[in-house]
A and B are shown apart, each in its own frame.
Chain A
Amino acid sequence: MDNHVLSVNNITKRIGKKEIIKGISFRIDKGEVFGFLGPNGAGKSTTLRMIVGLLRPTSGNIAICGHSITKNFIKAMSNVGCIIEEPDLYNYATGMKNLEMLGYMSKNISRKDIMDAVELVGMEKRIGDKVSTYSRGMKQRIGLAQALLHNPKLLVLDEPTNGLDPQGIFEFREMVKDLASEKNISVLVSSHLISEIQLMCSKVSIIKDGLVVKTGAVNDLVSSSEVYWVVDNLEKGKLIMKERFKVNAKIINNRLEAVIGLNQLEMVNASLVNEGLKLKYVNSKSKTLEELFLSLTENQKIT
């Protein structure tokens, strides 16, 4: 029995002859906001659809709060709320009617639960109007309300800010952050926007061509920096870095270059000096998530 809110184990998905997802695994803990970053067509949406049971994985398994999505769909899904792509609603009905209809689809949802969700997203005033009269931002709010109706432990959001204006994006982001911190809901959010993930998430997986290329805490990923040293003995310096810090340094333009965490930098410098190297110059260039993303996902071809 694992305690993760969501655990995805080596899932693959083949559609037709093409393998879209080639084996993705990750876990989300309670209250964690987990980002899923990748260029368009990397398989973000497909993975998310498998997690919410819209697609059946070709192999591998997914468990939500310990319940397998394929073997125990009902129990697994009662812990998940989601917005997949657009917040699609019945345009011919009012916001309230939409929520009531979806409320009937879960057990024990009272009118008060519905009103609470409406209040949470700040739609009290327009809830009696037809959805066809709503703006994009309002639809997104109702979308969030329907995802939260049954008090899920996991919120899955697929490209949630697509088509929202800057104000809408900001409000939506704050709402999601509040949910995670106040209600202790775990959130899985996918996006191709780096700033989005950087501002919202605590942990991120970067995926490309159906594979996870890197997973880590956003802070770690952002604070790793590209450092170069100018020392008298480059080969020796390279050896020290490899043996003591397991860092693969490169010799470029008569200087030593490596990517290391900023917290390691002082220790590396001290060792170099202790080993008798003459350290002439050290410079570090902080790498942004954007640069990391671009360097990991470059050479993208449509296959």
Chain B
Amino acid sequence: MSRMETIAPPRPQVAHAAARNVAGATKVHAKNVSVFYGDKQALFDVSLDMPEKSVTSLIGPSGCGKSTFLRSINRMNDTIPGCRVVGEIAIDGENINDKSIDPVLLRAQVGMVFQKPNPFPKSIFDNVAYGVRLHGLASSKKELEQIVETSLHKAGLWDEVKDRLSAPGMSLSGGQQQRLVIARAIAVSPEIILMDEPCSALDPIATAKIEELIDELKANYCIIIVTHSMAQAARVSQQTAFFHLGKLIEAGPTEQIFTNPRDTRTQDYITGRFG
């Protein structure tokens, strides 16, 4: 059994249709989360549970706080001077803002994919191997190779790059680079993957490949995605949360949010009526 499998044992898959409707156990629990940049409050009392093995999408107009909320889940906001997060964010019941938590280890557990693919100026292989080496997750060269291959497989990129693993990561197309970055995130066996508009720089085909990948990955991970594309949120997520002016307005099953939202502001936003 490879290390990947020991760390993240594949659990029995729920039937696809059922998985869409039945939310799993809570993976990320946010309660009364507020974020301040200096004196300015960017996020107000957000409470949201994000289930495991499922995709939650965060939607809302620019500046609504959705990315701020996403970035507080792996403490990326810590890196911004003057930024303060209050409230509780717990992963599997453990408060991530607790002093005992090492943010570097936390970010291995909570991977992140950004809007623009950001491969390191290294080979394809070294990009994926980077985090594994950093965290000392492989005990031999063979095991490292195995992890890289498995990760590239999971990211749906293996067949396209297996003959040129030493080529620079930057030499890939935009869509391939984004999948490379996802492979890099998966390689350190995270439990949660955060995605901040992962497809906004990609063409429709590359977007479709990423969406298909998200659909496959949700069998093992808790995925939280920020997207400006309502259609994408509708396609990939099981839960949708709508943010406006720093507040969580409404969250619910994606199907309900897009067919019968409860709040007029949600209704106005998703039907394109925002003034």
A binds B: no
Chain B positions near chain A (C-beta within 8 angstroms) = none
Chain A positions near chain B (C-beta within 8 angstroms) = none
